[in-house]
A and B are shown apart, each in its own frame.
Chain A
Amino acid sequence: MSGGGGPSLMDSLFQRTLDDLIKGIRLHLPGAAQSSFISKSLDEIRREIKSTDSQTKATALQKLTYLHSLHGIDMSWAAFHAVELTSSPSFLHKKTGYLAASLSFRPSMDVLLLLTNQLRKDLSSTNQHEVSLALECLSVICTPDFARDLTPDIFTLLSGKNFIRKKAIACLLMVFSQYPDAVRVCFKRLVDNLESADNAQTLAATVGVFCELASKEPRSYLPLAPEFYRILVDSRNNWVLIKVLKIFAHLAKLEPRLAKKVVEPICDHMKRSEAKSLVFECVRAIVSSFYEFEFAVKLAVAKIREFLLDSDLNLRYLGLQGLLLVAPNHLWAVLENKEVVIKSLSDVDRNIKLEALRLVMSMVSDDNVVEICRVLIGYALKSDPEFCNEILRSMLSTCSRNVYEIVIDFDWYVSLLAEMARIPHCQNGEEIEFQLIDIGMRVKDVRPELVRAGRDLLIDPALLGNPFIHRILSAAAWVSGEYVKFSRNPFEIMEALLQPRTNLLPPSIRSVYIHSTFKVLSFCLHSFLLPGKGVNSSRSNFVDIEPGFTYSESEQEFTETDHATSSSGFNKRDTFTQEAVVNMLTLVITSLTPLAESHDVEIQERVRNVLGLAQLAQQEISCNHDQKEKMVDKVDLKTSIIIRLINDALSEDFGPVSLSAQERVPVPNGLVLEENLSKLDSICADVQLSISESFSLVKPILLPTDGDSVSNQQNEEDSETSPAESMSLLAEHRKRHGLFYLPSDHNKNASSSFPPANDPNQRDNDVEDLVKLTDESLVLKRKPGSNRPRPVVVKLDEGERLPITVKKTDENDDLISGAVRDVLLGNEASLHSSNPSGRRKGESHSKDKVENFETGNSSKRRSKHRNHGKYVEDKEENSEKSKKKSGGRHKARRRADGGIDVAVQKQVIPDFLL
């Protein structure tokens, strides 16, 4: 208060305190009034914080911190003042400074450099509270520079007073992650702290640090298993036990012998403990890492059941989560509790419903997928939109998993997809669109059904009003165009594609519609003009693959169509009468002409293509009509020639494209892909615009099919070589035979063999339903009635829909575990200089040659095991004793072998595992 002069004195005397600020904020209503009050206060703070009086400064910073933390006000400009206050002799001011720093500093601030010395000073202070302030701040804002500079100071604190020690230990985790070399300095002392049984909190902090470290790279901590084991058996602190259990859950996956040893004490805890948190942690550990031990899993499942039946919601939720963890390895546990699971599907709590849904999906197999999906659709219709979509999403992802692995009957699946599209809240249009097209390309046998489902969707004018469905309609339009040859009535599809309400569609989807119009049109003209050859040529490559089946089926469809539309004869030629075709041409021209002036280039361009073809055909056909010439002449018409060409191009099948397709294209000689093209920018800057223009205008309409013919060839090559092929050939053969004997009933069977997914009568009593049918379908494996073989599904490469996941571990984690391994195996003396650099070199290679690295590593490890294997027999007794004596003995040994007795430690630790 003494110094400062006028303004500063005034500031100090009339400064608002933090309380005043808070009261002021509360007086002003949220909104404009409050924010103007805050900005006024900020102006004051800006003035006050420059004061030389540290009390004034501290109050200003306090207020600013408050505003920053609760009102989101930026305070990076005040960083320097926070640093200033940390050096204040007053503890309270120092505390304010450190709090501001830990709440607001970001790692990239320049001002951090100024803090290093103050941190060091406080870390070595005699006042333990000052040390604690510095540690807390450091644990939040630690940077690699801080970590490097302050490691020695933290190291000394690791053996200090308990109050400080536990904090220093917790802080270490941050230091390690920023500066892995700190491991070499501090790790031994950290390990020593595992034996600090005298202070539970220090132990808790230490175990906490190891738990975090082990979750990133467990293998390095295997040698510490004896210490953790001792804690697991001796400790009575639930916090510590939970963390140790987590560590063992990681370690046990790596070392089966360890798992055998540890599973007993874990079960003891599970049986004995009163604390639900500990019990649940045991359950989680058992079911995720010790699932091979039958008795342990049984016990865990019993505990899960207790949780599931508890009245506490939280326990029920965790019970479901537990089940979800058991499911992959012990499905029986889910089945035992399936009533609870299915009841939870209609719980009030969305989270519980979600868990239950995941569990239901985990029960799905190819035997029961039809029934489960039927019931789930019923649930979806009853649920709120959000959960409804959740159900649909999980159905879609489960059914499409691993290239539709569990779907046997694709006709059913396509009808399910169409069913989903009609659910009012459905927002999964994008995924359904993808799957409809994907199935169309992969599964040839399902195309007729696909076209039928697509037609039903297209023809319904009501659907066009729902924007969520537009994507699905786009798929339906594409399918109907691409596979129009399976259609019962192409004219009907044409009408559907051109119906007036299509103007509700966004341009991108409308252009798909128009392109499909083009395909349908060219198909109809082809059938009309070139009846005989048409069918054969357009289907030629289809016949190659499925000679008997496809031909007979589509032939039969056309016959049915005739009955429906003209009822004049059995010849399909009669569907495409002159009159019908002329009518269709008129329809196309009248409905599309207005669009020829569309502002959307894509629409405009496609419309013009269709119109060009339609007008040419109209001219020639109608003039043909006038002169009453013979049909034979049609072959020579200009249209016919064009149509033949177009149809040849269109009849190429689209196939799925492998993810690695691009990689397989050889790089042409002399093309340097890695060349830096940045220089081009300056040259192309003014040319760019014209390039993009010309691109959109000249895009030839046949480009997609052209491009596809390449991928299609490739696709066929692939499918020939794919390993799934031999399996599916068998199925195909069976299918062909089945059809040979029962040609005409096939379709009816197909449509009646599954109930409609969305049957109003079946929507009630879903619960009993699902319980019942999961009973049936899960208990009875393989229903005898299902004699429909699974159609061929084209697969290119495993997991092609998943992006290739390169396992990316943090480089720092690697460095940490590397250092830990060095320290633990005691070879820091010998390897300190050579190994780390070698390891790092290995890592940089490993990014592209992970496999190499892995095998190299494991072979090293294996040789280590082999080494100690020789000692196993004679050391066994020894290790037994050492375990019983535990504590002191271990400590003594480690200290003794610090530098010299490397070999002994190596053997002693793995012996424990036996």
Chain B
Amino acid sequence: MGIRFILMVNKQGQTRLAQYFEYLTLEERRTLEGEIVRKCLARNEQQCSFVEHRTYKIVYRRYASLFFLVGVDNEENELAILEFIHLLVETMDRHFGNVCELDIMFHLEKAHFMLEEMVMNGCIVETSKANILAPIQLMDKTS
């Protein structure tokens, strides 16, 4: 599978969202997140967005105080994943309006819901913002 996990982490290294597309135990997740966060957050703006870690390739991008980290297979296209991250941020922006860390914290379920619309089983299945948001908007309307 292409995408193996998606993490959102703030500047302090606290995880704000974690979605895995393969089963890892809690302990494995915690160590993996710790290692990746340490590796990626130590890097600055003058460094590239790709980091190799274990069998993963991490593609990450920083938006304001939030890091979006996507773990992919070695074969995956890095630039396409960067575009995917951007699309994800734009989609969240459209829904929350100037999305920030707090939006994701307090609306974790929605954030997962969006991700599930975009990615299934590690494959990107939807790239249109309107389509991604349609079910959420419907849900907001009915509830």
Contact B79 A318 (CB under 8 A): yes
Is B21 an interface position by the 8 A CB rule?
A: yes
Contact B120 A135 (CB under 8 A): yes
Q: Which of B1, B15, B80, B106 contacts A242 (CB 8 A)?
A: B80
CB distance from B135 to the nearest CB of A (A): 6
What residue of chain B has the Cβ atom nearest to residue A317's Cβ? B48
Chain B residues closer than 8 Å to A205, beta-carbon distance:
120, 123, 125
Contact A167 B120 (CB under 8 A): yes
Q: Which of B30, B112, B120 contacts A170 (CB 8 A)?
A: B120
Contact A313 B139 (CB under 8 A): no
* Chain B 15-31 near chain A by CB (<8 Å), digits 1 or 0: 11111010101100110
Is A908 an interface position by the 8 A CB rule?
A: no
What residue of chain B has the Cβ atom nearest to residue A96's Cβ? B109
Q: Which of A65, A106, A239 contacts B127 (CB 8 A)?
A: A239
Q: Which of A115-156 contact B (CB under 8 A)?
A: 129, 132, 135-136, 139-141
- Say yes or no: A22-B46 contact (C-beta < 8 A), given A92-B139, A170-B121, A173-B1: no
> How many of B's residues come within 8 Å of A, CB to CB?
51
Q: Which of A95, A314, A318 contacts B113 (CB 8 A)?
A: A95
- How many Å lie between the Cα of A201 and that of B132 in the bound state? 12
Q: Which of B126-143 contact A (CB under 8 A)?
A: 126-128, 131, 135, 138-139, 142-143
Contact B23 A139 (CB under 8 A): no
Chain A residues closer than 8 Å to B121, beta-carbon distance:
139-140, 170-171, 173-174
CB distance from B8 to the nearest CB of A (A): 10
> How many of A's residues come within 8 Å of B, CB to CB?
60
CB distance from A73 to the nearest CB of B (A): 8
What residue of chain A has the Cβ atom nearest to residue B131's Cβ? A201
Contact B123 A208 (CB under 8 A): yes
Is B56 an interface position by the 8 A CB rule?
A: no
Contact A204 B125 (CB under 8 A): yes
Contact A281 B77 (CB under 8 A): yes
- How many Å lie between the Cα of A822 and that of B142 in the bound state? 48
* Chain A 44-65 near chain B by CB (<8 Å), digits 1 or 0: 0000000000000000001001
Is B52 an interface position by the 8 A CB rule?
A: yes
CB distance from A29 to the nearest CB of B (A): 12
Contact A349 B48 (CB under 8 A): yes
Contact B139 A239 (CB under 8 A): no
Contact B120 A66 (CB under 8 A): no
Chain A residues closer than 8 Å to B17, beta-carbon distance:
69-70
Is A316 an interface position by the 8 A CB rule?
A: yes
- Say yes or no: A349-B120 contact (C-beta < 8 A), given A167-B125, A314-B79: no
Chain A residues closer than 8 Å to B47, beta-carbon distance:
313, 348-352
CB distance from B72 to the nearest CB of A (A): 12
Is A74 an interface position by the 8 A CB rule?
A: yes
Chain B residues closer than 8 Å to A201, beta-carbon distance:
125-128, 131
Interface of A is mostly: helix
Is A36 an interface position by the 8 A CB rule?
A: no
Contact A129 B135 (CB under 8 A): yes
Contact B80 A239 (CB under 8 A): yes
Chain A residues closer than 8 Å to B21, beta-carbon distance:
140
Chain B residues closer than 8 Å to A129, beta-carbon distance:
135, 138-139
Q: Which of A92, A107, A277 contacts B80 (CB 8 A)?
A: A277
Chain B residues closer than 8 Å to A352, beta-carbon distance:
47-48
Chain B residues closer than 8 Å to A167, beta-carbon distance:
120, 125
Contact A22 B105 (CB under 8 A): yes
Is A212 an interface position by the 8 A CB rule?
A: yes
Chain A residues closer than 8 Å to B139, beta-carbon distance:
91-92, 129
Contact B120 A136 (CB under 8 A): yes
Is B90 an interface position by the 8 A CB rule?
A: no
Chain A residues closer than 8 Å to B105, beta-carbon distance:
22
Contact A349 B123 (CB under 8 A): no
- How many Å lie between the Cα of A277 and that of B86 in the bound state? 14
Contact B25 A106 (CB under 8 A): yes
Is B66 an interface position by the 8 A CB rule?
A: no
* Chain A 311-341 near chain B by CB (<8 Å), digits 1 or 0: 0011011100000000000000000000000
- Say yes or no: A277-B1 contact (C-beta < 8 A), given A201-B127, A239-B124, A348-B46: no
Is A425 an interface position by the 8 A CB rule?
A: no
Contact A70 B143 (CB under 8 A): no
- How many Å lie between the Cα of A305 and that of B135 in the bound state? 44
Q: Which of B1, B48, B109 contacts A313 (CB 8 A)?
A: B48
Q: Which of B49, B52, B120 contacts A139 (CB 8 A)?
A: B120
- How many Å lie between the Cα of A246 and that of B18 in the bound state? 28
Is B51 an interface position by the 8 A CB rule?
A: yes
Chain B residues closer than 8 Å to A350, beta-carbon distance:
47
Chain B residues closer than 8 Å to A242, beta-carbon distance:
77, 80
CB distance from B43 to the nearest CB of A (A): 8
- How many Å lie between the Cα of A99 and that of B113 in the bound state? 9
Q: Which of B2, B109, B138 contacts A95 (CB 8 A)?
A: B109
Is A536 an interface position by the 8 A CB rule?
A: no
Contact A351 B109 (CB under 8 A): no
Is A276 an interface position by the 8 A CB rule?
A: yes
Chain A residues closer than 8 Å to B18, beta-carbon distance:
69-70
CB distance from B62 to the nearest CB of A (A): 13
Contact A314 B48 (CB under 8 A): yes
* Chain A 232-251 near chain B by CB (<8 Å), digits 1 or 0: 00000011001000100000
Is A43 an interface position by the 8 A CB rule?
A: no
Chain B residues closer than 8 Å to A92, beta-carbon distance:
139, 143
CB distance from A615 to the nearest CB of B (A): 56
- How many Å lie between the Cα of A277 and that of B116 in the bound state? 23
CB distance from A859 to the nearest CB of B (A): 31
Contact B50 A280 (CB under 8 A): no
CB distance from A746 to the nearest CB of B (A): 47
Contact B2 A212 (CB under 8 A): yes
- How many Å lie between the Cα of A348 and that of B16 in the bound state? 29
* Chain A 1-34 near chain B by CB (<8 Å), digits 1 or 0: 0000000000000000011001000000000000
Q: Which of B2, B14, B16, B79 contacts A276 (CB 8 A)?
A: B79
Chain A residues closer than 8 Å to B52, beta-carbon distance:
351
Chain B residues closer than 8 Å to A18, beta-carbon distance:
106
What residue of chain B has the Cβ atom nearest to residue A206's Cβ? B123
CB distance from B102 to the nearest CB of A (A): 9
Chain B residues closer than 8 Å to A132, beta-carbon distance:
116, 135
Contact A238 B80 (CB under 8 A): yes
CB distance from B119 to the nearest CB of A (A): 8
CB distance from B10 to the nearest CB of A (A): 11
Chain B residues closer than 8 Å to A239, beta-carbon distance:
80, 124, 127
Contact A208 B112 (CB under 8 A): no
Contact B49 A314 (CB under 8 A): yes
Is A803 an interface position by the 8 A CB rule?
A: no
- How many Å lie between the Cα of A103 and that of B108 in the bound state? 12
Is A166 an interface position by the 8 A CB rule?
A: yes
Is A838 an interface position by the 8 A CB rule?
A: no
Chain B residues closer than 8 Å to A91, beta-carbon distance:
139, 142
CB distance from B2 to the nearest CB of A (A): 7
* Chain A 67-92 near chain B by CB (<8 Å), digits 1 or 0: 01110101000000000000000011
Q: Identify 19 new A-B residue pairs, CB closer than 8 A, beyond the known A173-B1, A215-B75, A317-B50.
A: A62-B109, A69-B17, A92-B143, A139-B121, A173-B122, A201-B125, A204-B125, A205-B125, A211-B2, A242-B80, A246-B75, A284-B77, A313-B48, A314-B82, A317-B48, A318-B50, A348-B46, A348-B47, A349-B47
Can you list 23 A-B pairs, Cβ within 8 angstroms, ordered by A? A70-B16, A139-B121, A140-B21, A167-B120, A171-B120, A174-B121, A208-B2, A208-B123, A208-B125, A212-B123, A215-B75, A242-B80, A276-B79, A280-B78, A281-B80, A313-B49, A316-B48, A317-B48, A348-B47, A349-B43, A350-B47, A351-B47, A351-B52
Report A's interface with B, CB cutoff 8 A: 18-19, 22, 62, 65-66, 68-70, 72, 74, 91-92, 95-96, 99, 103, 106-107, 129, 132, 135-136, 139-141, 166-167, 170-171, 173-174, 201, 204-205, 208-209, 211-212, 215, 238-239, 242, 246, 275-277, 280-281, 284, 313-314, 316-318, 348-352
User: Top 5 closest A-B pairs, CB basis?
Assistant: A277-B79, A208-B123, A170-B120, A349-B47, A139-B121
